[in-house]
């Protein structure tokens, strides 16, 4: 087990240095590599395969709900970006500008899209004439660019991958329903497929998307108690429709402005996976998005019949799970450590004795629990154990979140908890920007969201003591 | 049928004006839209769905052959682009330059990737140490940018979508085998899935990819006799490996340079589909990539039971084909014209009389052949008819290509054929750049490729009369 130890020793313990632990995992689990392109990352095959699984699940769900994929140009002319005032103020400071094509300066600078509301609006203005053209439910998978100063793999990079849904509706009600529907798609995806519980809620005015009427969010808690915004869904009302003149002739023969939404999820989701489930042995992946769900490790593979049987078992289970065999000449101990690092949910060990008994050993990644299973029962047992693991991951994350969520009633408490106890802080708020800014300054927390379906517990703002309007989750965030 | 006529009249006849016919189809079949981003296009849902089908077929094939997907940054620092001399000379004149991030000028300009050899090489130099690390078989799906002056939807746009495979091998032989294997993947894809016959061959020195040792290509003939380069596969030898210092320790304990390939196919493939199969009623799509394979059109749909039955049939056939029903209140005639425009391979008509007879009418898009088929036999009949249609498309394209391919033996003949007869011209060539340039000047043709597996037919260069080295396909090209 010398190799095993060596591999594990290379990761910093998360209790010692959480930031370094994270950085170690993204490198050692072969998720990313750095390049000479500052602030950007190379997503390696194992990391990209996780993203492909995320895409595949969500793309199917979007299409079931009637959305269609399109592809917009990656460039936005400066005048187009400038069309909606709040939007350009939000994004202009962090866009990359193309100024030359070949050796010639461009007549007008183009920014590399930081998000594509303006392009979709221009297109929709072209397409939409009548109520018969509505709703329009478009989505695109692409990369976007925001010129961040401080970057970290997956969590904040100058270029990142995402999907952006952009929809147009006849009425305000329909737009609001779409916004909330898509938030729920993300919430379900986080909870069911990623095994990460989320708080659903609305962002404050300060934290909402540039140009939106309302932004909704799903907020997840990481191992270190910090919040991670998991995905957002925005209701734009008819603000952009006015700026871009997007009108339709309604059944009553009146010209009306369209109502608009957008919603997105990004590769930072992979960062959330790492920090919600990972441990000191590496990544822990929920089965739905794991590139390899079962790794088959032959034991004493030089002995006659072992490799043949291991290959046979791998092929057999590949009909119902994503399985792979590692028949390299590394030791089983090295392989165990390697696939623990990569977060493979289940390990299947098979040696001469197992074969003689027509069984194998299954080992769960999360708690190393062992199961001795007949080779004839893998088709029922593997999915069962994977489902148990998924539930255990979710429950562990939920318990941690419960244990690390604090309710405070006054400013002193808030400051103390924020200083001493990592986690979410529930507190009432008057709704004023001034208090939000003050809490940022004195307690170093930002508002994460005003949660859905939770009752308030007091009538005073935690900051100013004036009448409270909203219950808010506060926290430090990625 | 008034609406029907109106719709059809909106397309220019291909015999009258081929360029306008093409432009009409990309718009009327809802493939693309224009925007204020000059030289770029919006790929609309129907166009993008074709691309998704192309992606899905090829991605599966690439993975079966052991390739893994990754994602590289979209930016390339100028110094990195400059590392391989031939490569930068080929691409620098046509790249878009990012010079500012937010309001600050960048320390070094970044180009938006026109292709990613340099990024892959930098990454591979980082990854590859030993013969055990080889081969590396990576691919990425992304968009790239080349600052073209004259653009046309799908055929030549400043931004386009593609995949780029980049592989590293231990030996020259393995790299050459990979290059040819991937060319054959493209050739099969064109011939089997797109029903477009291609000429496989090698590019001349003049036409090869910037920095490559050899470029292979599949060349397709369009309706108007022009050539379209369908996909290319490049063998780089160890040129980039020297420039980027990519070495591995071989089994014999010697440090050796890696051998490299790259290969790609782009959204221009959709342009090829349009121009290889389209007709004066619109697009004609081969089943493998058609977003809708069967459109169900209810006839007299207001009559009791018609819509119910039509929906039932649609759901039933959806288990084995991509089927859609159009139950809008447009007339059947309008619908017929609409889905002919969109190139849907098969139309299923179902009215009260059909229902009484437990049958439906199937109409092929390519030749409007009608089939009266029992509703109980759709599962066998539809795939059969789709396969026949696919074969008919292929054969028609092949016959056209045969009829429009000319063999010439001297310069006068070459000039006359090039002037009078659109198509491919087969002629022997001495291998000198001078003759290639002269043929471009006097006959206005470029070399398409030196074909595989075709014997030469003379010993004199068509241009200079000196000893010939290669048989070459010449033509005007997109």
B102 vs A contacts (CB less than 8 Å): 92-95, 147
Alpha carbon of A76: minimum distance to chain B alpha carbons (Å): 7
Contact criterion met (CB < 8 Å) for A75 and B101: no
Average pLDDT over residues B119-134: 97
Per-residue confidence (pLDDT) for residue A367, from 0 to 100: 97
Write out residues 412-451 of A within 8 Å (CB-CB) of B. none
Domain assignments of chain A as residue spans, ordered by start = 19-277, 287-389, 405-475
Q: Does B319 touch chain A (CB under 8 A)?
A: no
Cα–Cα distance list, B275 to B23, B330, B369, B422, B474 (Å): 11, 29, 22, 14, 19
CA neighbours closer than 13 Å in the CB half-sphere of residue A99: 13
Residues B167-192 have pLDDT tens digits of 999 999 999 999 999 999 999 999 99
Q: Are strands A136-145 and A159-169 parallel, antiparallel or unpaired?
A: antiparallel
Contact yes or no for A286/A277 (Cβ under 8 A): yes
Per-residue confidence (pLDDT) for residue A9, from 0 to 100: 57
Residue B289 has pLDDT above 60, yes or no: yes
Write out residues 223-242 of B within 8 Å (CB-CB) of A. none
Residue B3 has pLDDT above 50, yes or no: no
Alpha carbon of A120: minimum distance to chain B alpha carbons (Å): 10
Residues A365-389 have pLDDT tens digits of 999 999 999 999 999 999 999 999 9
Structure tokens at B400: 């056209």
Contact criterion met (CB < 8 Å) for B42 and A138: no
Residue among B44, B94, B127 minimizing CB distance to A102: B94
Q: Classify the phi-psi angles of B423: left when phi > 0, otherwise alpha if psi is within -120 to 50, otherwise beta.
A: left
Over pLDDT 70: what percentage of chain A?
98
CATH topology (fold) of B33-277: BirA Bifunctional Protein; domain 2 (3.30.930)
Mean pLDDT, chain A, whole residue set? 96
Number of neighbours of residue A46 by Cβ within 10 angstroms:
18
Give me the total of CB pairs closer than 8 Å, taking one residue from chain A and one from chain B. Answer: 154
Interface test with A, best of B101, B153, B154, B165 (most A CBs within 10 A): B101
Contact criterion met (CB < 8 Å) for B100 and A96: yes
Exposed, middle or buried, A149 (CB in 10 Å: 0-12/13-18/19+)?
Answer: exposed
Using alpha carbons, select from A276, A113, A1 the residue that is nearest to residue B37: A113
B36 vs A contacts (CB less than 8 Å): 77, 79-80, 122
Residue A1 has pLDDT above 90, yes or no: no
Alpha carbon of B33: minimum distance to chain A alpha carbons (Å): 8
Contact criterion met (CB < 8 Å) for B122 and A73: no
Per-residue confidence (pLDDT) for residue B8, from 0 to 100: 52
Residues B52-73 have pLDDT tens digits of 999 999 999 999 999 999 999 9
Residues B201-235 have pLDDT tens digits of 999 999 999 889 999 999 999 999 999 999 999 99
Number of neighbours of residue B460 by Cβ within 10 angstroms:
16
Which CATH code for domain A287-389?
3.40.50.800
Per-residue confidence (pLDDT) for residue B59, from 0 to 100: 98
Class of domain B287-387: alpha beta
Contact criterion met (CB < 8 Å) for A42 and B95: no
A37 vs B contacts (CB less than 8 Å): 73, 75-77, 80, 110, 119
Residue B85 has pLDDT above 90, yes or no: no
Per-residue confidence (pLDDT) for residue B7, from 0 to 100: 53
Q: Does A50 touch chain B (CB under 8 A)?
A: no
Residues B244-264 have pLDDT tens digits of 999 999 999 999 999 999 999
Q: pLDDT-based confidence at A87, cuts 50/70/90?
A: confident
Residue A339 has pLDDT above 90, yes or no: yes
Q: Does B99 touch chain A (CB under 8 A)?
A: yes
Q: pLDDT-based confidence at A7, cuts 50/70/90?
A: low
Residues A100-112 have pLDDT tens digits of 999 899 999 999 9
Using alpha carbons, select from B88, B80, B90 the residue that is nearest to residue B208: B90
CATH topology (fold) of A405-475: Translation Initiation Factor IF3 (3.30.110)
Per-residue confidence (pLDDT) for residue B2, from 0 to 100: 43
Interface test with A, best of B27, B42, B54, B145 (most A CBs within 10 A): B42
Alpha carbon of B159: minimum distance to chain A alpha carbons (Å): 7
Contact criterion met (CB < 8 Å) for A77 and B145: no
Q: pLDDT-based confidence at B472, cuts 50/70/90?
A: very high
Q: Apex CA B374: angle with CA B373 and CA B378, to 5°? A: 75
Write out residues 123-152 of A within 8 Å (CB-CB) of B. 123, 126-127, 138, 142-143, 145, 147
HEC per residue, chain A: CHHHHHHHHCCCCCCCCHHHHHHHHHHHCCCEECCCCCCCCEECHHHHHHHHHHHHHHHHHHHHCCCEECECCCEEEHHHHCCCHHHHHHHHHHCEEEEEECCEEEEEEEEECCCCHHHHHHHHHHHCCEHHHCCEEEEEEEEEECCCCCCECCCECCEEEEEEEEEEECCHHHHHHHHHHHHHHHHHHHHHHCCCCEEEEECCCCCCCCCCCEEEEEEEECCCCCEEEEEEEEEEECHHHHHHCCEEECCCCCEEECEEEEEEEECHHHHHHHHHHCECCECCCCHHHCCCCEEEEECCCCCCCHHHHHHHHHHHHCCCCCEEECCCCCCHHHHHHHHHHCCCCEEEEECHHHHHCCEEEEEECCCCCEEEEECCCHHHHHHHHHHHHHHHHHHHHHHHHHHCEEECCCHHHHHHHHHHCCCEEEEEECCCHHHHHHHHHHHCCEEEEEECCCCCCCCECCCCCCECCEEEEEECEC
Residues B405-451 have pLDDT tens digits of 999 999 999 999 999 999 999 999 999 999 999 999 999 999 999 99
Average pLDDT over residues A179-187: 98
Structure tokens at A14: 């998360």
Contact criterion met (CB < 8 Å) for B33 and A100: no
Residues A108-156 have pLDDT tens digits of 999 999 999 999 999 999 999 999 999 999 999 999 999 999 999 999 9
Interface test with B, best of A33, A98, A136, A151 (most B CBs within 10 A): A98
Higher pLDDT, B455 or B468: B468
* Strands of the A214-221 sheet, one edge to the other: A68-69, A136-145, A159-169, A259-266, A227-237, A214-221, A198-202, A446-451, A470-475, A424-429, A405-407
Alpha carbon of B268: minimum distance to chain A alpha carbons (Å): 14
Q: Does B68 touch chain A (CB under 8 A)?
A: yes
State residue A164 phi and psi, 5-degree precision. Answer: -130, 115
Residues B342-378 have pLDDT tens digits of 999 999 999 999 999 999 999 999 999 999 999 999 9
Note the Cα B452 to chain centre separation in Å. 20
Per-residue confidence (pLDDT) for residue B145, from 0 to 100: 97
Of all residues in chain A, the one with the smallest CA distance to B27 is A127
Q: pLDDT-based confidence at A2, cuts 50/70/90?
A: very low
Residue B314 has pLDDT above 70, yes or no: yes
Q: pLDDT-based confidence at A458, cuts 50/70/90?
A: confident
Contact criterion met (CB < 8 Å) for A93 and B80: no
* Domain A19-277 coded CATH 3.40.50.300: no
Contact criterion met (CB < 8 Å) for B43 and A76: no
A141: Cβ contacts below 8 Å, ≥ 6 apart: A55, A59, A69, A161, A162, A163
Average pLDDT over residues A249-271: 98
Contact criterion met (CB < 8 Å) for B76 and A37: yes
Average pLDDT over residues B446-469: 95
Q: Does B44 touch chain A (CB under 8 A)?
A: yes
Q: pLDDT-based confidence at B88, cuts 50/70/90?
A: confident
Contact criterion met (CB < 8 Å) for B73 and A41: yes
């Amino acid at each position: 087990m010398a190799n095993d130890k060596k591999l594990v020793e290379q990761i910093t313990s998360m209790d010692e240095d959480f930031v370094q632990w994270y950085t170690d995992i993204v490198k050692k689990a072969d998720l990313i590599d750095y390049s000479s392109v500052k602030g950007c990352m190379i997503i390696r095959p194992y990391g990209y395969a996780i993203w492909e699984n995320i895409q595949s699940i969500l793309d199917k769900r979007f299409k079931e709900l009637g959305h269609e994929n399109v592809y917009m140009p990656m460039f936005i002319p400066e005048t187009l970006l400038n069309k909606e005032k709040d939007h350009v103020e939000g994004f202009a400071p962090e866009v990359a500008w193309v100024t030359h094509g070949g050796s010639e300066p461009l007549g007008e600078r183009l920014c590399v899209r930081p998000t594509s509301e303006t392009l979709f609006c221009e297109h929709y203005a072209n397409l939409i004439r009548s109520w018969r053209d509505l709703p329009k439910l478009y989505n695109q998978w692409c990369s976007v660019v925001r010129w961040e100063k401080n970057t970290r793999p997956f969590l904040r990079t100058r270029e990142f991958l995402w999907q952006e849904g952009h929809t147009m509706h006849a009425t305000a009600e329909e737009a609001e329903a779409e916004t909330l529907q898509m938030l729920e798609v993300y919430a379900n995806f986080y909870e069911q497929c990623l095994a990460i519980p989320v708080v659903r809620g609305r962002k404050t005015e300060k934290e909402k998307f540039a140009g939106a009427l309302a932004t909704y969010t799903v907020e997840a808690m990481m191992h270190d108690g910090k919040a991670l915004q998991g995905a957002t869904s925005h209701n734009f009302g008819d603000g952009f429709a006015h700026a871009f003149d997007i009108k339709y002739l309604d059944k009553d023969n009146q010209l009306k402005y369209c109502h608009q939404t957008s919603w997105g999820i990004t590769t930072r989701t992979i960062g959330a996976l790492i920090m919600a489930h990972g441990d000191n042995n590496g990544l822990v992946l929920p089965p739905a998005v794991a590139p390899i769900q079962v790794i088959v490790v032959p034991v004493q593979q030089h002995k006659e019949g072992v490799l043949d049987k291991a290959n046979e078992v791998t092929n057999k289970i590949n009909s119902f799970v994503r399985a792979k065999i590692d028949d390299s000449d590394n030791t089983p101990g090295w392989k165990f450590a390697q696939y623990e690092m990569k977060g493979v949910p289940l390990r299947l060990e098979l040696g001469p004795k197992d074969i003689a008994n027509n069984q194998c050993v299954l080992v769960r990644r999360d708690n190393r629990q062992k199961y001795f299973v007949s080779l004839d029962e893998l088709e029922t047992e593997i999915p069962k154990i994977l489902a148990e693991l998924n539930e255990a991951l979710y429950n562990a994350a939920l318990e941690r979140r419960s244990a690390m969520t604090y309710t405070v009633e006054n400013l002193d408490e808030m400051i103390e908890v924020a200083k001493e106890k990592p986690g979410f802080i529930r507190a009432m708020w008057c709704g004023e920007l001034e208090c939000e800014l003050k809490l940022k300054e004195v307690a170093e927390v930002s508002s994460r969201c005003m949660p859905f379906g939770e009752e308030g517990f007091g009538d005073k703002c935690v900051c100013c003591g004036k009448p409270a309007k909203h219950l808010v989750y506060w926290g430090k965030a990625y």
